[in-house]
Amino acid sequence: MKRIINTIIFLIVTLFLLELISFLILQAHRSPISNKENNNLPLDIFKFQKKGEIISNQKAVLPCKENFQSSWSNREFSVRVKTNNLGLRSERKTDLQKTDVAFFGDSFTFGHGVEKEERFSEIVEKKINPKIKSDNFSYINGYQPEHYEYYLRNNTNLSPNVTIIGLYLGNDLCSDIKDTYYNRDSNHLRILSRRISPEGAMINNRNFYKFPINHLIKRSYFTKLLVMNLNKGGLRHLIFRNHIPNSPNNELLEKGKEDLSQNRAIQSLVEIKKILHRRNGSLVVLIIPQNYFFKKCSNPHISQKLVPEIKKLVNGQNNILNNVCSHLKEIDIDYINPVNILKSEMYFKLDAHWNPLGHNVVGTEIAKKINHILNKQSLRDSTVIVKHI
């Protein structure tokens, strides 16, 4: 009995120390670090929602704070993010009825790691007719074509002449779809596997962790610390059930062997084109290749089993990039493939996103496309007027 009591006391003391140490580590992790090289501040622009899912509404797919300023830093960048009256990353008000060119996309279009004026959408605005008003409707983290379709269906007063949709080949066609529950018939959108922290950052939903983590993480600092570290490495499958948020593409998709006609993101692009056509607008898809197409580096969205085959994938005919281009051409969706203008130095050294140089070259290419489309539209409208006269 004495041995049992001593064992129980030892376990209680050990658990107490683990909780205390974990609490102190987590507190230190939240505190701002003066050394920018080690700083890793999350982007805290989202509105906290008490329910265990992100609740979308007609005005916004993701609940962003309006007229808000936030710091966003990690080892390679330190930028400011300011939102406008609609919670979009802009310093001017957005009036949907006055939008001539609309940009949709995820972190690349949002401007991951670059200042607002360095984004490709801003580069475009400088290179087209100054009378043409453009607006960037992108969000960071988990945004994909079904979300854009939902937004366009709800906001019927948004009728741009040209809509540019960024399609990131890393997670838009696979992982982000699994995070989303979209019913096109009822136009009902739910994002269950993600939630917003009280601080305003998007994080994984506790309810999607395996048992008993899904219960302990709400009460134990040690469990929180354990999950935080497992979530960074190759053991993420140990903590999630059913679906791992932001998981790598499946191998068939990466090898260009998946039937894209059955892909929900591609199906949404088809629907978006129909919506825009009814509003007398044009759709252009900006294909965003993963960084491994341009340099030897790590990428969070390719299966570890395929890493040894990257060179073969890039140089061969069968890969995700070629498959997407071929399919978009087959279903008659206009697109821009920047693979021939992007270079390794246009990506961050460690991060998988474009740096300001990458945004500049892509923005210049998009501006050429938009000017061409707008000129065709202007010529078409002039012809209609002449025929009418």
Concatenating the DSSP letter of every residue in 244-285 gives: -TTPPPPHHHHTT-S-GGG-HHHHHHHHHHHHHHHTT-EEEE
Tens digit of each residue's pLDDT (9 = 90 or more) over 264-313: 999 999 999 999 999 999 999 999 999 999 987 777 788 888 989 899 99
User: Average per-residue pLDDT in the chain?
Assistant: 89
Contact 170, 296 (CB under 8 A): no
| Tokens (6 digits) for 350 | 């460690």
pLDDT score, position 379: 56
Distance between CA 156 and CA 94 in Å, rounded? Answer: 15
Strands in 54-55's sheet, in edge-to-edge order, are 54-55, 188-191, 180-183
Tens digit of each residue's pLDDT (9 = 90 or more) over 198-257: 889 888 888 899 999 999 998 999 999 999 888 877 788 899 988 888 888 999 999 999
pLDDT score, position 41: 65
Q: What is the radius of gyration, based on Cα positions, of the chain?
A: 23
Contact 209, 223 (CB under 8 A): no
Distance between CA 167 and CA 222 in Å, rounded? Answer: 38
CATH architecture group of domain 38-193+258-381:
3-Layer(aba) Sandwich (3.40)
Distance between CA 220 and CA 116 in Å, rounded? Answer: 39
pLDDT score, position 30: 61
State percent of the chain over pLDDT 70: 94
Distance between CA 57 and CA 190 in Å, rounded? Answer: 10
Asked whether residue 387 carries a pLDDT value surpassing 50, the answer given is no
Among 43, 126, 137, which residue's Cα sits nearest to residue 89? Answer: 137
Cα dihedral across residues 240, 242, 243, 248: positive or negative: positive
| Tokens (6 digits) for 245 | 């948020």
CA contacts within 13 A on the Cβ side of 243: 19
Mean pLDDT of 160-185: 94
- Region of residue 142 (left: phi > 0; alpha: psi -120 to 50; beta: else): left
Torsion of CA 120, 125, 127, 130, to 10 degrees: 180
Tens digit of each residue's pLDDT (9 = 90 or more) over 315-343: 988 999 999 999 999 999 999 999 999 99
Contact 205, 195 (CB under 8 A): yes
Tens digit of each residue's pLDDT (9 = 90 or more) over 85-99: 999 999 999 999 999
Distance between CA 30 and CA 21 in Å, rounded? Answer: 14
Distance between CA 222 and CA 15 in Å, rounded? Answer: 9
pLDDT score, position 161: 96
Distance between CA 69 and CA 196 in Å, rounded? Answer: 17
- Helical spans, DSSP H, in 128-168: 145-154
Q: Give the chain's length.
A: 389
The full set of domain ranges for the chain reads 2-36, 38-193+258-381
Confidence at 381, pLDDT banded by 50, 70, 90: low
User: What pTM was estimated for this model as a whole?
Assistant: 0.90
- Region of residue 277 (left: phi > 0; alpha: psi -120 to 50; beta: else): alpha
| Tokens (6 digits) for 225 | 């610390």
Tens digit of each residue's pLDDT (9 = 90 or more) over 26-70: 888 664 433 333 335 678 999 998 887 888 887 789 999 999 999
